[in-house]
Structure 1
Amino acid sequence: MSIKIEQIKSSSKPKEKKKEREGSPLDFLNKEISFSGSGLKDKQKEEFYANLGMLLSSGIDMRSALKIVCEEKKKRKEKEIFEKLFDDMVKGMNLSESMKKSGHFSDYECYSIGIGEETGRLNEVLNDIATYFTNRIKQKRQLVNTFTYPLIVIVTALLVVIFMMNFIVPMFMDIFKRFSGELPALTQWVLDISQSFNQNFIIYLLVIITSVITFYSFRKKEWYRKYGSLIVMKIPVVGPLVNKTYMVRYCHTMALLLSARIPLLRAIRLMRKMISYYPFEKALEEFELGILHGKTLFQSMEQFSVFDTKMKSLTKVGEEINQLDRIYTGLSKQYNEELQHQIGTLNSLLEPVLIIFVGVFVALILVAMYLPMFQMSNSFA
């Protein structure tokens, strides 16, 4: 006897899911980029936790539920990972132990599943982890959709400028050489840039390539991550947006860990392995040291500017009434709504601003080229 996951899903949400999965020419914008061929993407993990939780809630035992999940997988790599989990379970191993052994799941996931197995709240934990990955995927897609259009516009503008500097401006330069007289300052400035660009194009290209390789090589160095994050935080609009993204992740994950009855110190240690953003890593490191020395979470949080006043105040209240999980659940929802609003506003503002910027830049070059001709026509008249 086998149960198809699609059939279970269709009974609860028959039409909405079909509409969501319909193909679109822009679907590639929503796909995740993975640099590790053997790992699991966030989308695959979300489906795994959601499907497993749904099957367990329907009364199926863990072994049968995991077997159904394995049968539904089509990709070879993904199927092998989940089949190994099933084989380990047949041998008597817990799901959390098997997940840790596979190396494809974070400590946060393994530890949360283990807590769910011990406390009998595995269904709740699975649903919470699935929700976490759902929100994480949604945030990534929003950011990709927001910055894809500006990136395309900027690349197109650069290509247009390179073409004009290499081909259009030199044609006008030959025309201007035939006439005597001093060129306007704007025209001379554009001609000088074009000439320098043509003469040193290879050098500029090598500098750009060298810079990219250097940045990529040092991206994991602590000093690079420290100063890189400081620069990002100083950028208007972008800095607060990045900080709010990690605030949402911090609140949601802390709420999930604390609601699973994981001790605060252990939850902070797990968080350090999940968040790879330098300011939050250092803050969590100080949180751990502070708690070990008898400080409260609020007292440790006070010295870091990455956390706003609202979070600090509510953290203090949550500790006093022993309801940190509920406080962070509410904060996660609030920050997530604020983040979505900010991303939507940024998306609506970037399009016209970039179009105007590119138009002004191209118009500047054209005016610089035609300005001498207008002057010469006036002098002849």
Structure 2
Amino acid sequence: MPRFTFNAIEPATGRETRGVLEAASVEAVTASLKARGLAPLAVMPERTGPVLRPARRRSWPGFGRVLNFKELAVFTRQLGTLVRAGMPLLRSLEVLARQERNPRFRAVIEGLAENIRGGGTLSDGLQQHPRLFDRLYLNMVKAGEAGGVLEVVLERLAGFLEKSVRVRGRIKAAMTYPLIIVLVAGGIVAALMVFVVPKFESIFAGTLKGQPLPALTQAVIGVSNFLTQHVLLAVGLVAAMWFAVQLIARTAAGTRLLHGLQLKLPVLGDLYLKTAIARFTRTLGTLLASGVPILEALRITQDTGGNARVSAAIGTVHDRVKSGDGVAGPLRATAIFPDMVPSMIEVGEETGALPDMLTRIADGYDEEVDNAVDALTSLIEPLMIVVMAVMVGTIVIALFLPIVRIIQTLG
């Protein structure tokens, strides 16, 4: 049976406990620790990396973010576990600060603890770090404090963050292989154009004695000459285009334009829209389930929409709801969301189960995104290989045609 090392804490005393257990899975170890009255902080198989707690990323002092999205999810999950186990919030933060390896985030946790020690609330401390804890995080914690269910809200928030991490990781992993293929193909083509083609050009010039080269060969040599003679110009053009896009994206009008084009892209546009819908419905559902008022929830969701056009549509819904309308009607009027979304929301409003219905919509669209990513990956991989073969093959054929003419001349 597998062996697992664990790190847990006794809620009553705050004493940390470490040890080894034999169990069928991580879940079994967690259940065993809870049955013994312990709050598990980390569980990992022996001789492998951590399962519940990921390894910290090292960075030079003063550089990089305080922590990444995944680490924030882990912190939230651990804090919720300790508070649910009955440990006071202040002691829970002190425990998490002691075991935190990231010095910058440890200072943040210690600041939260110091704020509570001085009579403040957790949300008061979170407000001091707006770049780390966004409005979604802050308002959910405020709602949990107001309703006396902070541990429930923290665990719900941890689940929301963990789900977001999984979706982001899946999309990133799916796009890694095609990106590698593009980089390799680009490197091979650039090497051929810069180092190989010029040598063949000199051979052809000395052998064919001024005879015209095939059109394909002339085109390839022309591109090669441009790259070798104007490499700085080529790099500068690419850099200028990239900076131009970045500058456009910094303006409100430019962001709306780029995000509108993003949704109109073939294949990818539908994927972007489904991702935005899943984020919108999950965020709104999580906020409403935590007790955040509908208008505040819509305002927060608008800020975290991820797409300017979707955020503008949510803003329109917010204004209509403020005037006394429901959510479904204004959402349908935006003509951005598929009709199924406002229809399901309408059912949720009629039955009084809007948060649950929003979560179901998000789960459905997350599954559609997963399926779309799988299909896109299976399509892109062979397509990239074909494109790479065509590019390299074109260069080889362009160099081979004059050689055939030379052989015919010599014959």
Taking structure 2 as the reference length, the TM-score comes to: 0.84
- Give the unaligned 5+ runs of structure 2: 1-12, 21-25, 33-41
Matched, 1:59 2:77: no
Aligned equivalent of 1:3, options 4, 12, 15: 15
- Equivalent residue, structure 2, for 1:98: 125
Contact 1:38 1:77 in 2 (8 A): no
Output the CA distance in 1 between the equivalents of 2:146 and 2:137: 14
- Residue 83 of structure 1, CA deviation: 0.5
Structure 1 residue 42 corresponds to structure 2 residue 69: yes
Aligned alpha-carbon RMSD (Å): 2.8
Would the alpha carbon gap of residues 371 and 4 (structure 1) be closer, same or farther in structure 2, given more than 3 Å must change?
A: farther
Q: Where does residue 88 of structure 1 map in the other structure?
A: 115
Aligned-pair CA distance for 1:179? 0.7
Which stretches in structure 1 are left out of the alignment for 5+ residues?
none
Give yes or no for contact 1:85–1:95 (8 Å, CA) kept in 2.
yes
The Cα of 1:61 is off from its aligned counterpart by: 2.0
* Aligned length in residues: 376
Q: Provide the rounded CA distance (Å) in 2 between the counterparts of 1:324 and 1:350.
A: 38
For residues 328-347 of structure 1, the aligned pairs below 5 Å read: 328-347=358-377
Q: Which residue of 1 aligns with 2:208?
A: 179
Contact 1:268/1:288, CA 8 A, preserved across alignment: yes
Contact 2:276 2:306 in 1 (8 A): no
Percent of residue pairs bearing the same amino acid type: 23
- Separation of aligned partners in 2, 1:20 and 1:100: 40
Letter of the 2:352 partner, please give it. Answer: N
Higher strand share: 2
Distance in 2 (alpha carbons) for counterparts of 1:326 and 1:311: 13
Q: Give the residue type in structure 2 aligned to 1:63.
A: L
The answer to whether the aligner puts 1:192 opposite 2:204 as a matched pair is no
**Bigger share in helix:** 1
CA distance in 2 between counterparts of 1:32 and 1:248 reads 32
Offset of 1:377 from its aligned partner? 2.4
Deviations along 1:281-310, whole A, 9 cap, x unmatched?
Answer: 111211111112333212211233431121
Q: Separation in 2 of the partners of 1:21 and 1:304? A: 50
Aligned-partner Cα distance in 1 for 2:103–2:222: 58
Give the counterpart of 1:143 among 147, 161, 171. 171
**Aligned counterpart for 2:143 among listed residues 99, 112, 115:** 115
Query: 1:89: how far off?
Result: 0.7
| 1:373 to 2:403 alignment | yes
Tell me the CA shift for residue 208 of structure 1.
1.4
**Which one has more relative contact order, counting CA pairs under 8 Å at least 6 apart?**
1
**Cα separation, 1, equivalents of 2:259 and 2:48:** 36
247-256 or 369-378, which moves further after superposition?
369-378
2:100 to 57, 73, 91: 73
Q: Deviations over 1:204-239 (max 9, x none)?
A: 221112222232233221122111112222222222
**Aligned residue in 2 for 1:12:** 30
Aligned residues of 2:144 and 2:291 also touching (Cα < 8 A) = no
Structure 1 residues 7-16 or 203-212, which shifts more?
7-16
**Structure 1: which amino acid aligns with 2:157?**
I
